[in-house]
Chains A and B, each alone.
Chain A
Amino acid sequence: MTTEAAPHTARRVTADDGTRAPAAVVRSGRSPAKGPRRPRPSRGDLAFTPGQRAKSVLKHAALIAAAIVMIYPLLWMIVSSFRPSDDVFRAPGLWLTQAHPENYANGWNALTSPFATYLLNSTIVVLGAVVGNLVSCSMAAYAFARLNFWGKKWMFAAMLVTIMLPIHVVIVPQYILFSQLGWINTFAPLIVPKFLATDAFFTFLMVQFIRGIPRELDEAARIDGAGHPRIFLRVILPLMTPALATTTIFTFIWTWSDFFSQLIYLTSPDVFTVPVALRAFVDAQSSTDWGAMFAMSVVSLLPVFIAFLIGQKFLIKGIATTGIK
């Protein structure tokens, strides 16, 4: 459950510019899907004795300091992306004396193709992965949560174990397999596995969710003559929206930032995704044009940040429910 911070929290923050920006995170942290809000038990400040009051002020001071330390590098990177490269090594503060947006143009055109190409490639990979996970994981989850079948127990155990399997154990033969198929330098190795429910984490997340849907709904549909495909599509799937949203956002963020497999499968510049392009940029630059590199790094983080703003509720719910009962 997300509760918005009271608007005045943002104002209580010290008047340092650096702490203002994240306040936006809070204000827009509401997702469009508004569930019923449970009232928050809040003790009014009036109930405090002076001693408790001092304690609470101290605590907030400590938390705000911690928040600044946590977020400062990111803010500094954003500000530095608008500075001339020489300034990046001279200005530890967040004050921008002269804007230098040329960094964005320079970074955008620094590699063989304009950066838009890599953004587009990443978008294709991410969309494929999202659709793949939604389709295959929800089907598998329905079977594990609602059907009785031969070998269910050990299959379920196998699914859980694959959550914990290091990718490196299978990456070499996978690479060989995909190169035999002629899939190197295409997006297929990054998308096809997602259509085969290889992201077991999401299958598990959906199993958890379906278990919470009352079985009476299935029974009612069955009495009306619906078979499993129809129950799945018409009853379970519509009720699974929160789990599907969580899966969508996590798949989006993880695939967008995933580096290892994209580095291995994509070697020609025209199919580079954003992380691989950034790495090529760093190598080509040999660390000179930091302003432009920061500019493109900011561009690459923007989609993740937007996903975080839109879907914070689902992210937090998703993480919390897989970790606890």
Chain B
Amino acid sequence: MSALAELGTLGKKKGGRGNDAGATAGGAAPKGPRATASKKDNRAAFVFLAPWIVGLVCITIGPMVMSLYLSFTDYNLIQDPNFIGLDNFTRMFGDGRFWNSLGVTLTYVIVGVPLQLGLALAVAMALDKGLKGLAFYRSVFYLPSLLGSSVAVAILWKQMFGTSGLVNQLLAMVGIHGPGWISDPSTALGSIILLHVWTFGSPMIIFLAGLRQIPTMYYEAAAVDGAGRATRFLKITLPLLSPIIFFNLVLQIIGAFQSFTQAFIVSGGTGGPSDSTMFFTLYLYQRGFGQFDMGYASAMAWVLLIIVGAFTAINFYASKFWVFYDD
């Protein structure tokens, strides 16, 4: 069961099976008269969950509440925060660079994720069972997704898509004079989207696992009925794979919204040329950790959370119409 499926069924499912009576941690006396099969392990659970609870309160929920508060202040790390109401948000909505950074990130998500997932699915379909050299192909396609978020690969990309970088050297061999990809505002973002597409390996692995779960007899039956390749793909593969496509879609969208390293390194931290690679997270970083405008950065963070949450909610809602659960 994937994490998403778990979330979806939480409302409907009964909790785990009750533990039998017996040891509570430290041999504590059972509370109440009914020390029977349905007794809870509250004390033991508290011990095992202690680190996680501290983390949830101090590292996650606490800071979230705090950043919500800060988004209504002018906090700058040095002076005490002053409450300024909705000022950060009104400034934000009047800030052209904010809207631009939102547009850059949305473009990256809306173009990059479908391309990446489409490629991941296509390659996973091509790597069918029993293919010679399957493990070799799988390794080669998977490796880039492990390296893709690193500074080293971003440095490589910066060189490759430079004016006399690798890409233009290769183009020159066939007589094409390529543009300065990352120094031209119209192509800089495209170069970074390409880096995202290059990391299609990890969704590909998930698709591979999903494809392996589809019983071959379905395809055999369809073939007997005279179904062509396209029909088999549309009527068998897609519906049965839809929960996995959905899982990949949600996770990749959330991940893509948070992309930072690639744009930061390729643009030298500026988000240039002329803000064409100014990702939302990069702008947040500049405002918060460059200008110490922590109130504004917190407000931006909450806008990001709301947008990512909205995307995820829409995804969950839309999934009712296209995701097919056969259980």
Task: Give the interface segment out of B124-132, B185-193, B224-232.
Answer: B124-132
Shortest beta-carbon distance from A203 to chain B in Å: 7
Shortest beta-carbon distance from B183 to chain A in Å: 11
With an 8 A cutoff between CB atoms, is B133 at the interface? yes
A sample of 12 cross-chain residue pairs with beta-carbon separation below 8 angstroms, ordered by A number, consists of A12-B133, A89-B169, A158-B56, A172-B67, A173-B63, A196-B51, A196-B56, A227-B23, A259-B261, A287-B158, A308-B146, A312-B142
B143 to A149, Cβ gap below 8 A?
no
Q: For residue A150, which residues in chain B have a CB less than 8 angstroms away from its CB?
A: 40, 42
A149-B41, A227-B25 known; A196+B58 contact, CB < 8 A: yes
With an 8 A cutoff between CB atoms, is A100 at the interface? no
With an 8 A cutoff between CB atoms, is A111 at the interface? no
Residues of A within 8 A of B (CB): 2-6, 9-10, 12, 22-23, 25-26, 29, 40-43, 59-60, 62-63, 66-67, 70-71, 73-74, 76-77, 88-92, 135-136, 139-140, 142-143, 145-150, 152-153, 155-177, 179, 193, 195-198, 203-204, 208, 215, 219, 222, 225-229, 232, 253, 256-257, 259-260, 263-264, 274-275, 278-279, 282-283, 287, 290, 293-294, 296-298, 300-301, 304-305, 308, 312, 315-316, 319-325
With an 8 A cutoff between CB atoms, is B59 at the interface? yes
Residues of B in contact, count (CB < 8 Å): 119
A278 to B152, Cβ gap below 8 A?
yes
B48 to A139, Cβ gap below 8 A?
yes
A148-B18, A208-B1, A315-B146 known; A9+B133 contact, CB < 8 A: yes
Shortest beta-carbon distance from B144 to chain A in Å: 6
B135 to A92, Cβ gap below 8 A?
no
Question: Considering the chains assembled together, what is the distance between the CA atoms of A137 and B51 in angstroms?
Answer: 9
A196 to B42, Cβ gap below 8 A?
no
Question: Considering the chains assembled together, what is the distance between the CA atoms of A171 and B257 in angstroms?
Answer: 15
Residues of B within 8 A of A (CB): 1-3, 5-7, 10, 15-20, 22-27, 38-42, 44-49, 51-52, 54-56, 58-60, 62-64, 66-67, 70, 77, 123, 126-127, 129-130, 132-144, 146-147, 149-153, 155-156, 158-160, 162, 164-166, 169-170, 173, 198, 202, 205-206, 208-210, 213, 244, 247-248, 250-251, 254, 257-258, 260-261, 264-265, 268-269, 281, 284-285, 288-289, 294, 297-298, 300-302, 304-305, 308, 312
Shortest beta-carbon distance from A81 to chain B in Å: 10
A3 to B147, Cβ gap below 8 A?
no
**Inter-chain contact total with CB atoms closer than 8 Å:** 347
Question: Chain A: which residue is nearest B206 at the CB level?
Answer: A323
A2-B135, A89-B169 known; A324+B209 contact, CB < 8 A: yes
Q: For residue A165, which residues in chain B have a CB less than 8 angstroms away from its CB?
A: 60, 305
A25-B139, A163-B3 known; A170+B281 contact, CB < 8 A: no
A71 to B70, Cβ gap below 8 A?
no
A43 to B130, Cβ gap below 8 A?
yes
Q: For residue A320, which residues in chain B have a CB less than 8 angstroms away from its CB?
A: 205-206, 208-209
B209 to A323, Cβ gap below 8 A?
yes
Question: Chain A: which residue is nearest B259 at the CB level?
Answer: A260
A145 to B16, Cβ gap below 8 A?
yes
B147 to A304, Cβ gap below 8 A?
yes
A5 to B133, Cβ gap below 8 A?
yes
Question: Considering the chains assembled together, what is the distance between the CA atoms of A173 and B63 in angstroms?
Answer: 5
A73-B156, A163-B3, A193-B59 known; A9+B202 contact, CB < 8 A: no
Best-surrounded residue of A6, A155, A164 (most CB of chain B within 10 A): A164
B54 to A22, Cβ gap below 8 A?
no
Q: For residue A153, which residues in chain B have a CB less than 8 angstroms away from its CB?
A: 10, 15
